[in-house]
Amino acid sequence: MEHLGTHRHGDRILGGVRQSCGECEIRDLTFCSVLTAEEMERVRACRTEVQFAAHHTIFHEDDEADHLFNVTSGVVKLYKLLADGRRQITGFLFAGEFLGLAANRTYAYTAETVTAAKLCRFSRRRLVMLFDQWPHLEKHLLGIAASELIAAQDQMVLLGRKTAQEKMASFILKMSERAEARGQDGNPVTLPMNRADIGDYLGLTIETVSRTLTQLKNKGVISLMDSGHILLSRPQELDDLAEGF
Amino acid sequence: MEHLGTHRHGDRILGGVRQSCGECEIRDLTFCSVLTAEEMERVRACRTEVQFAAHHTIFHEDDEADHLFNVTSGVVKLYKLLADGRRQITGFLFAGEFLGLAANRTYAYTAETVTAAKLCRFSRRRLVMLFDQWPHLEKHLLGIAASELIAAQDQMVLLGRKTAQEKMASFILKMSERAEARGQDGNPVTLPMNRADIGDYLGLTIETVSRTLTQLKNKGVISLMDSGHILLSRPQELDDLAEGF
DNA sequence: CTTGGTCTTTGATGTATATCAACCGCCAAA
DNA sequence: TTTGGCGGTTGATATACATCAAAGACCAAG
């Protein structure tokens, strides 16, 4: 659990930059992939590239939801807090992923960088106007929302019904799969977040995360190269552990 | 936790009925509320009303996702199972609510009636064709998906970080609020599902659900009229308990 | 009225994970 | 080189909740 109030707002290091989308390396991972050249140009007009150092808040739960974002590099976490500071991280976002969907006028969660990160920031108002004109973009977004909903349900199964070991195994495997989906190496797995973040994502404490990792290591299914890099020695067994076999 | 395999498929009592949507009492609760009269007529053409007894499966995880549904009466639960039968209920659906959004070709969860229920069943293929023609409908659906995503995140907080008492208090209050949103009385609260379902929704056992309810009763914040009807004696205190004060 | 079944409640006990505490390794600042 | 701080690991203990067990409430079938 992290303290409230520290790093209340991210130190934006770079703001207002408007470089070309043509050279965007992760375009195929984002909703931009469904845009024509002319559409891209109009989207670019409501875009600003922003950059933050690690551990800085991008927006805060209950802030006015004026912007939508695409992560272009680095890692972002989303979380909600209880009154006494207990924290639940609801997701980690990597390059190409989208954040900012809100049901009301305000954000439903806080977004904070895990590593240094760059994001494309869009004016919600202006982007929504474009959605109205391009149904295919809205359709794509609905697809994204549907996928996230499925993922959220998987996470509910994990939080509600899995043991610590099953949670850790599931987490490591998902991180591996997502790295591969981004075209990176899925083994060894890189875990850019610290143990507190992992715990708050899995509904565990720091200590249990640490102990569970050493258990998996002692079983021989993983090796800890260092605290942020895990080698999957026996991926199949890890998979079995994740599903409770 | 419920046994697998029983009631594998719902006994559909009434199938193929195509009555008018004009007399639909819950129209305002559904996506139909955004349709014009002509649009309604076209939607009706791809609709069948289906009816099931309590405790019967509407569709099964991994079934082909050929249909979308609106609940018109009764209560439906959605759940996922682990290999050994552990179950996580991801949601309860009441009159007016929508189900069937899928990311792939198959459903991501099983849907089963809690009480006897009626649903409007739509051909996915045909409804999606209508979405393509009516962007405002797709927009509305995106709004629904965004709301569900927020709700899913709240549920993650509950499952990952709340105590049994906080979970129960949150659950009772949410059921009350949702009843009011449907125009029903929010106090006393009706809980149409049994203790096993509540447990599998909150990540608890039957026994803990029962014990926690008696704790809340002994504190004087609720009264158990019978196992399915709860009187909120001190709603404000219940609210405090739900948020961990 | 009795019987048997299902659901709920309550009690006794067990255990997975949290909590409290210490220590280690690493790195950056002094 | 030392010092202090942070993140991670490990150990001892506590506890919230699960598990195992039994009994009561209710209802439908006989």
Q: Compute φ and ψ for A90, nearest 5 degrees.
A: -95, -10
**Three-state secondary-structure class, residue B164:** helix
B4 pLDDT band, cuts 50/70/90, is: very low
B175 pLDDT band, cuts 50/70/90, is: very high
pLDDT at B7: 36
The reply to whether B196 has its C-beta less than 7 Å from any atom of strand C is yes
pLDDT tens-digit profile of B80-127? 999 999 999 999 999 999 999 888 899 999 999 999 999 999 999 999
Beta-bridge partners for B117? B52
Q: How far apart are alpha carbons B217 and B209 in whole angstroms?
A: 12
Q: Residue A49: which of A79, A77, A29, A69 has the closest Cα?
A: A69
pLDDT at B146: 96
- The average pLDDT across B172-185 equals 97
Does B84 contact chain A (CB < 8 Å)? yes
pLDDT above 90 (res B18): no
Does A37 contact chain B (CB < 8 Å)? no
Task: Look at strands B222-226 and B67-73 and give their pairing.
Answer: unpaired
pLDDT at A4: 31
Contact flag B108-A162 (C-beta cutoff 8 Å): no
Residues B233 and B223 sit within 8 Å (Cβ to Cβ) = yes
Q: Residue B114: which of B204, B194, B12, B186 has the closest Cα?
A: B194
pLDDT at A19: 62
Q: Which residue of B has its CA nearest to A146?
A: B103
pLDDT above 80 (res B3): no
Ranges of residues in chain A whose predicted pLDDT is under 50: 1-16
Nucleotides, chain C, CB distance < 7 Å = 7-12, 16-21
More confident residue, B223 or B7: B223
Contact flag A153-B154 (C-beta cutoff 8 Å): no
Beta-bridge partners for B48? B121
pLDDT at A12: 44
Nucleotides, chain D, CB distance < 7 Å = 7-12, 16-21
pTM equals 0.93
pLDDT tens-digit profile of A9-19? 334 444 445 56
- The average pLDDT across B46-51 equals 94
pLDDT above 50 (res B13): no
Q: Which residue of B has its CA nearest to A164?
A: B160
String of DSSP letters for chain A: ---SSTT-S--EEEEEE---STT-TTGGGSGGGG--HHHHHHHHTTEEEEEE-TT-EEE-TTSB--EEEEEEES-EEEEEE-TTS-EEEEEEE-TT-EE---SSSB-SSEEEESSSEEEEEEEHHHHHHHHHH-HHHHHHHHHHHHHHHHHHHHHHHHHHH--HHHHHHHHHHHHHHHHHHTTS--SSEE--S-HHHHHHHHT--HHHHHHHHHHHHHHTSEEEEETTEEEES-HHHHHHHHHT-
The H or E element that residue B231 is part of is strand B229-232
Contact flag A149-B146 (C-beta cutoff 8 Å): no
pLDDT at B72: 96
pLDDT at A22: 81
Q: Give chain B positions within 8 Å (CB) of A128.
A: none
Residue B22: CB atoms within 10 A of its CB come to: 10
pLDDT at B10: 36
pLDDT above 50 (res B6): no
Q: How far is A14 from chain B (nearest CA, A)?
A: 30
Nucleotide minimizing C1' to CA distance for residue B196: C7
pLDDT at A241: 97
pLDDT tens-digit profile of B122-146? 999 999 999 899 999 999 999 999 9
Contact flag A159-B156 (C-beta cutoff 8 Å): yes
Q: Which residue of B has its CA nearest to A132?
A: B135
More confident residue, B17 or B146: B146
